[in-house]
Each structure stands twice: as C-alpha cells, then as structure tokens.
C-alpha cells in the first residue's frame, strides 16, 4: 500500500483551541499527539505519523522531561 495523498480532515479548529491539535492547552505544553486533527495535519505536512517527540518539539527541556516521565509511567515509551 502506498502513502495516503494529502487531504484536509478539518477546516478551522474550534475557537479557543490550538490550531495544530484542536485541543485546549497552554502554548508551552505539548500538542495532543492522540488528536486525529493533529495526526492528519502532521501527516499532510511531513508524510509520516507524529510521535510524542514531535508533539513536544516546541516545548522547553523542563516540560519535555516532565512529560516523558509521566508518559513512561503510563507505559508509553518516548
């Protein structure tokens, strides 16, 4: 099976939500990697599905470390 061709899943994100992941979060926090809006938007831009590393790429090292620790406690390897 080949790659999906880019397409638009959503138009505008709901008011008050992140334009990248359509979830309410502080700008310094990671995007919601589990959000379908984020997953498809990322795929359209990069040709692959996003990881938690991608969702945290814009975060400070302190926030990344805290999120990685919390995710690992839940069994998610980052």
Q: How far apart are the C-alpha atoms of 47 and 23, rounded to whole Å? A: 22
| pLDDT score at 12 | 78
| pLDDT score at 78 | 87
Q: How far apart are the C-alpha atoms of 9 and 26, rounded to whole Å? A: 24
- Which residues, given as ranges, of the chain have pLDDT below 50? 7
Q: How far apart are the C-alpha atoms of 71 and 13, rounded to whole Å? A: 26
- Domain edges within the chain: 20-78
């Amino acid at each position: 099976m080949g790659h999906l061709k880019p397409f638009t899943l959503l138009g505008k994100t709901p008011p008050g939500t992140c334009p990248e992941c359509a979830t309410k979060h502080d700008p310094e926090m990671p995007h919601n990697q589990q959000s379908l809006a984020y997953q498809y938007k990322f795929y359209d831009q990069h040709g692959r599905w996003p990881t938690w590393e991608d969702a945290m790429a814009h975060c400070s090292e302190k926030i990344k470390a805290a999120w990685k620790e919390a995710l690992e406690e839940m069994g998610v390897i980052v």
